[in-house]
Structure 1
Amino acid sequence: MFGFSDLLSVIISAFIILPIVVFLRETGYLIVSKMLGVENPRLTIGSGPRIIKIGIFDIRKYYHLYSWFSYDAIRRESKFAYICIYAGPIAVNLFLALIINALLANDILEEYQTFWERFIFYAFYYVLFDLVPMKTLNGMPNNGMIIYEMFRYGKRTDHNKQPFIPTTTEVEKEYKEQMEQIKKKTKRGT
């Protein structure tokens, strides 16, 4: 039977654990791309109007599941560099899940065991859906599909005109245009 404690668990999972896992996943792009020398990196969490921008972190108003990484240029473009960038989120979530699992197995995190078990679940969830090659609902390839196509064909083969990762400058320009449109619609409605 679904009770109050289950409702509390769902809320903690949806609004604490899942956002942390998503954030850590997105930092996988950041970690690898920094090693590869990207210019103007940005980690955007959420969508809609900006709440705050601190350095490379852009926090938006609406739910965290729509998050992305962007940059303007990479020092050396190569098949290997793109594979590494797209493997970054998979590696971070896998590494964290395995480390936390080892800590649980050795009774180091036993006090908050349920929390950490859920964390591991969501981390592996993202690993699975990032690793298995597939196209998402909007027709875009997931990380696994991009990596697979880079290995198999030596290039991106989804025939999509958009770049691998959007440039930060273009994302910022698009954001400003969207906010101006929202302001215009709000003024007309008043």
Structure 2
Amino acid sequence: MITFGFADFISLVISAFIILPIVVFIRESGYVIAGMLFGIKNPRITIGTGPRLVRVGMIDIRKYYHLYSWFSYDDLTHKSKWIYVCIYSAPILTNIVVGITLNLLIVNDVLEGMSSFWDRFIFYIFYYVLFDVVPMRTLNGKPNNGMIIYEMIRYGKRTDFCPEPFLPSTTDTEEEIKNQDKPAKNKKN
């Protein structure tokens, strides 16, 4: 008896390379929406890690897997503890709204067919909500959104017990990209 067949493999590939990148993009877009409301300067959504593949406007797509993605910016026009709470709550709320909307569309037969696709999509939407809302630190010591929100409300600061900034600024990221590109250009000459 085969428990993981070809159809399961195709489902895995669809989940990993179609659904997850879309869910990550939706999540990161929540930051942008909130940031725009509070005068964000130089916003950027970075999808993946490693060398840059392409940059289109504020979207920066990297070579390696998309699960490690982030939103960065240089500064905010308006700053307060509650503005930061709103910005870090935005991806959670964005995923909740998208998940509930999709669920309602499925229940009301607006999205008919491809039920396993939409079930997985909604699953990953709420997967990110769960790991965003429960306050915790990642293996590298950086706080997730839940921890940032908790610390901002309780202590009035963005990060705690983390030697490096939670989010690199967009300008710092661009400098890093330029520095990565220099050795590659020198090798060609």
TM-score range, shorter chain: over 0.9
Amino acid at match of 2:34: V
In the alignment, which residue of structure 1 is the partner of 2:95?
A: 93
Contact 2:136–2:146 under 8 Å retained in 1: yes
Q: What does 1:160-171 correspond to in 2, within 5 Å? A: 160-171=162-173
Distance 2:162 2:151 in 1: 13
Contact 2:159–2:166 under 8 Å retained in 1: no
In the alignment, which residue of structure 1 is the partner of 2:43?
A: 41
The Cα offsets for residues 126-163 of structure 1, whole Å up to 9 and x where unpaired, read as 00000000000101000000001111122235132433
1:145 to 147, 172, 187: 147
**Aligned residue pairs: how many?**
187
* Cα RMSD, aligned residues only: 1.7
Structure 2 gaps, min length 5: none
Percent of aligned positions that are identical: 60
Q: Which stretch of structure 1 is more off in the superposition, 104-113 or 131-140?
A: 104-113
Contact 2:141–2:161 under 8 Å retained in 1: no
The TM-score with structure 1 as length reference comes to 0.92
Distance 2:158 2:59 in 1: 28
Question: How far apart are residue 80 of structure 1 and its match?
Answer: 0.7
Distance 2:100 2:20 in 1: 17
Distance 1:120 1:77 in 2: 33
In the alignment, which residue of structure 1 is the partner of 2:12?
A: 10
The Cα offsets for residues 4-31 of structure 1, whole Å up to 9 and x where unpaired, read as 1111111101110011001111111111
Change in CA separation of 1:76 and 1:88 when aligned onto 2, cut-off 3 Å: same
Amino acid at match of 2:99: A
Question: How far apart are residue 175 of structure 1 and its match?
Answer: 1.6
Structure 1 gaps, min length 5: none
Distance 2:159 2:45 in 1: 26
Change in CA separation of 1:160 and 1:117 when aligned onto 2, cut-off 3 Å: same
> Does residue 19 of structure 1 match 2:31?
no
In the alignment, which residue of structure 2 is the partner of 1:172?
A: 174
Contact 2:41–2:74 under 8 Å retained in 1: yes
Change in CA separation of 1:182 and 1:144 when aligned onto 2, cut-off 3 Å: farther
SS state of the match for residue 143, structure 2? Answer: coil
